[in-house]
Each structure stands twice: as C-alpha cells, then as structure tokens.
Amino acid sequence: MKNIMEYNEFISILNDNVFGKSKADLLKKIKANPYRYMGIFRPTKPIGKITQNLLQSHEIRFGSAFEIIISKYFELLGYEILDNKMIDKDANINLQMDHLVKKNNKFYFVEQKVRDDHDSSKKRGQISNFEDKISQLITIYPEQDLIAIMFFIDPNLIKNKKYYLQKLQIIKEDYNIEVHLFYSMEFYDFFGAVEVWDEINKYLIKWRESIPNFPNFNFDSDSQDTFKEIKDLSPSLYNHLFSDDEIYEQIIKTLFPTGETLRLLLKYFSSKNATIYKTISKKLAERITT
C-alpha cells in the first residue's frame, strides 16, 4: 500500500520539533533559575536535574510535534486547514485550536492530547477550555455544520473516559452540536482513514529504534550543530552565565566538557561590534584559558 506521508517527512517533523532548540531552551531556563539545577538542597547533582529537564522538554515537544503531524495528515487527506487562532475585538489572539479543518461544508474542531492521564484539576480545565473554544466557534460557524472532537492519541492511558463522556454529553445538548470523544484508532476510523493510524504506528516503531535512551547532555559532541542553535541567544543570557562562578563551574563545564562549542562562540562574539559582545568575549576568554 502506498504511504500517505513519506517516512522521512514524518521523522523530520518529530526530530525537528522534539530535539531541535532543546539546548537553547535549556540555557534559557538555567539563566532564569539556575538554582533549580544546583545547590545543596537537592537530591540530585546538576547533571541529574539537566537530564530530567531535557526528558520533560522532549515529552512536551512530542505533543507539539504530533499536532503538526496530524495537521499534515488532514492536509494529505484533502481537508482544508483553517486559521486556528481566535482573535478578539482588540486583535489579540484569544484562543487557539489544535486543529480546525473543513471538508464537504463540515467544520471539524479537534482538541488533541497525547494521553488521557490528567488529574482532577487538569481534566476539569480540559473540559472548560474545550467548551470555551466551542462557545467562540459557534459565533462564526453554523452549529449544524460544526463537529467538535476531543482526541487522545495514546491507547494505553484512558483514565478519565467516563468523566469526559458525561461532560461532553452536556456540551452536546447545551450547544446542539455534534461532539465526540476518541482514543487512538477511533479518531481515524471516524474519518474513514484507519490506514493513517496504521502508518503512524509503523513509523513510530521505526523512529524509536533510532532515538537514544537518554538525552545527550554533552553539547560538545556535535559542537557545530550546537553552535548554530545557540549562537544568537540573548547576549544578556551569556553575560549572566559566564559571569557567575557557580553556574560556570557546575553547569557550563558539564554541558560543554571539551570547550569546543565555547571556542566557536568566542570567535563569533569577538566578530561583533557591540560593546556587550566585547564584554562577553572577554569573560569567556578568561574562563576558557583558566
């Protein structure tokens, strides 16, 4: 059977969105709150907290990557991708849909999550958010043409199904629109495209064979790629990271053990004319040579 999406495109979306920019984000978090990573009142050394942070970041980014993947599949299946941002009267983005698509004069609003493992407060927030978006959508689209879907991807975690079904039935009656709750394959069965679900599973199994067991916290192992990712972060970030002895000794030296990326940064900063970059260059040069 012909692929709906090519495997290389599928994994490119995953890799770019799960692993891309994770180093830059980590440096921003360290600058914002370095003592989340170091200090004696912790059961972990800095590298343990860094590893935890990267793992959590990858989990969150996986969900974002799958929004892009599902949107791409909608496009490949012939659905029109609509603007998913709701603008208020002051031209501010008020609410953002995960997916808003159209086909055969039907409008499909999809709220997508990776797994149904929410606690009590989060599940209530999930329903409240879902209803808020429906409330705005019916001011734009006819209720008889609007279909609202709550979709959980992972078939292995179905914690709050009874709760969601009860609440969605109320929304269905209150708003007089078609509402559905789907888990995993049920979603594509509804759209008559079970082959998409089969393809997603096949691609994920293959992709998982290529990913590491743990995040790589040695940013010098691919110094050129690291340099390209982080070189244009705010100069205030680098000024802070290179000024603080504890941060540099406990964290920067851990992330950049050979100093190769730091030397690339030094060369780059030295080429800049702004005074702040001269300041950063001087501090970094002193660090590298000591």
**What confidence tens digit (pLDDT) does each residue in 196-233 have?**
999 999 999 999 998 877 777 899 999 999 999 999 99
Q: Do 58 and 82 fall into the same domain? A: no
**Total number of domains in the chain:** 3
Q: Are residues 132 and 172 in the same domain?
A: yes
Q: Are residues 41 and 88 in the same domain?
A: no
Residues 267 and 200 reside in one and the same domain: no
pLDDT band with cut points at 50, 70 and 90 for residue 19: confident
- pTM confidence score: 0.84
Q: Do 48 and 121 share a domain, yes or no?
A: no
36/17 Cα distance (integer angstroms): 25
Provide the token pair at 116. Answer: 């149904």
Structure tokens at 238: 């680098």
Q: How confident is the model at residue 80 (pLDDT cuts 50, 70, 90)?
A: very high
At 47, the pLDDT band (50, 70, 90 cuts) reads confident
pLDDT category of residue 88 using cuts at 50, 70 and 90: low
- Clarify whether residues 70 and 200 are in a common domain: yes
Taking the C-alpha atoms of residue 149 and residue 180, their distance in angstroms, rounded to an integer, is 5
Listed residues 158, 192, 226: the one ending a domain: 192
Domain that holds residue 257: 218-290
Q: Give yes or no: residues 67 and 203 share one domain.
A: yes
Contacts of 180 (CB under 8 A, 6+ apart): 147, 148, 149, 150, 168, 190
Q: What does the pLDDT look like over 154-182, one tens digit per residue?
A: 999 899 999 999 999 999 999 999 999 99
Query: Of all residues in the chain, what percent carry a pLDDT higher than 70?
Result: 97
Residue 108 is part of a domain; what is its CATH number?
3.40.1350
Q: Which residue has the higher pLDDT, 133 or 213?
A: 133
Query: In the structure, what pLDDT confidence band is assigned to residue 14 with cuts at 50, 70 and 90?
Result: very high
* Confidence band, pLDDT 50/70/90 cuts, at residue 51: confident
185 in the same domain as 103: yes
DSSP lists the bridge partners of residue 95 as 86
Do both 44 and 134 map to the same domain? no
Question: What pLDDT is recorded for position 274?
Answer: 95
